[in-house]
Amino acid sequence: MFSVLQNSWALLLGMMLLMLGNGLQGTLLGVRGEIEGFSTFEMSLVMSAYFIGFLFGSRAAPDMIRRVGHVRVFAALASLISAVLILYPALANAEAWMIGRIIIGFCFSAVYVTAESWLNNSATNENRGQTLSLYMIVQMIGIVAAQGVLLLGDPSGYILFIVPSVLVSIAFAPILLSITPTPAFDTTKPMSLKKLYEVSPLGVIGMFLLGGVFSAQFGMAAVYGGKAGLSIPQISLFVSAFYVGALLMQYPLGFISDRMDRRFLILLTAALGGAASIVAVIGGGNIVILLLAAFLIGGTSNPLYSLFLAYTNDFLEHEDMAAASGGMVFINGLGAISGPIFTGWLMTSIGPAAFFGLIAALMLAISVYAAFRMTQRAAPSVDETAGFQAIMPSSSPVFVEVAQEIAIENAIEEQMEEISP
């Protein structure tokens, strides 16, 4: 672990600051939108816009990097992110915020592609797995810490918008001034959606539904908090609970998944998330219930992302896994665009409790579909399944590809150990 920090501290520090800035602006907009008098549906469109930009950014970034290089892409997108963050309070209308969110989603997505390719290049074959694990932990620390920064200023003023702009600007200093060489850039062409569905219907349907769950959490949690009458400190704790749950439950569920039928684990995990959401609908007036529900929802939905990737890999040859991961990321992105929109529409029609109601419906739909798929074909032998790699839903296709490569390397090593006397 020390060697990882020695080689990658600048990248990891920069990414933590980026996640601080991104995590803060997402929650801050939800709170400020309530202050500005935006309707719930307007805020849902604003939040959905980020995922539109994020999806297109992940597709456009490879071509941009090949054309002008990592450093120029980094510098240009950093400037755009900082500018948009400063402009939010000056242009307090829903249309301007939507455009800003599309730009920021596009920029952050491309920045993640760039930084993650750099991070992968700085790692060796021996410590690549540790590097990616540490990277995911750093991301979570950044997002959770961002919720604490929200308490340091007045959401109705300008200071809290200046803070993420400064954090993003500072984040690029350790990255761009480090001596890490610029990596050669290459990505695998994604597998077609039709081929993916033929390989793993559960993986495709589950990823699409999960995109809606994740984007509802990331985009609409603060909006829900405002509409439900939570105070700013309570909203901060509420949003943090999703990510703390994701971090603490990712690895235990991953350990279990390598030792049982993944479909049954997907069924149980999604059912637990759905049950927690139903409890939150019933007891939404109690902050303790909301925090426990958020912890369990975050702790089940985030590992499901990795579980769907691992389950799909169980039916693929090693050489097809990287291509499949690109298609799965795209499917998740499509689902993420629709999540906030449906959440906002339902919250407008029914009330704030619809936030948890939609999450419950999506999680239970995943659980039911997993049960159905268990009746359609036999599960692969546990000895023949691909290894689980913890991955955040916000990761770029580059990170997911690298995680797939690590899973392949681990599987080959296990096969060699079994063959050798």
Every domain of the chain and the residues it spans: 1-183, 187-421
Q: What is the mean pLDDT of residues 136-145?
A: 86
**pLDDT-derived band at 408, boundaries 50, 70, 90:** low
Q: Is 37 left (phi over 0), alpha (psi -120 to 50) or beta?
A: left
CB-based contacts of 30: which residues, under 8 Å, 6+ apart? 43, 47, 219, 220, 221, 222, 223, 225, 226, 235
**pLDDT-derived band at 128, boundaries 50, 70, 90:** low
Q: What is the mean pLDDT of residues 191-210?
A: 87
Mean pLDDT lowest among 21-25, 117-121, 167-171, 253-257: 117-121
Position 413 scores a pLDDT of 62
**pLDDT-derived band at 170, boundaries 50, 70, 90:** confident
Other C-beta atoms lying within 10 Å of the C-beta of residue 420: 6
Other C-beta atoms lying within 10 Å of the C-beta of residue 168: 29
Dump pLDDT digits (tens) for 259-287. 778 889 999 999 999 999 999 999 877 89
- Residue 296 pLDDT exceeds 90: yes
Position 180 scores a pLDDT of 57
**pLDDT-derived band at 206, boundaries 50, 70, 90:** very high
List helix spans (H) across 350-419. Answer: 354-374, 397-419
CATH topology assigned to domain 1-183: Growth Hormone; Chain: A; (1.20.1250)
Mean pLDDT lowest among 84-93, 204-213, 275-284, 403-412: 403-412
Mean pLDDT lowest among 296-305, 322-331, 332-341, 407-416: 407-416
**pLDDT-derived band at 356, boundaries 50, 70, 90:** very high
**pLDDT-derived band at 67, boundaries 50, 70, 90:** confident
Q: N- to C-terminal Cα distance for the chain?
A: 31
- Residue 257 pLDDT exceeds 80: no
187-421: CATH class: mainly alpha
Q: What is the mean pLDDT of residues 316-325?
A: 71
Question: Model-level pTM?
Answer: 0.87
Position 402 scores a pLDDT of 67
Helix, strand, coil share (%) of the chain residues, nearest 5: 80, 0, 20
Please determine whether the domains at 1-183 and 187-421 fall in the same fold group of CATH.
yes
- Rounded Cα distance, 148 and 144, in Å: 7
Q: What is the mean pLDDT of residues 34-60?
A: 89
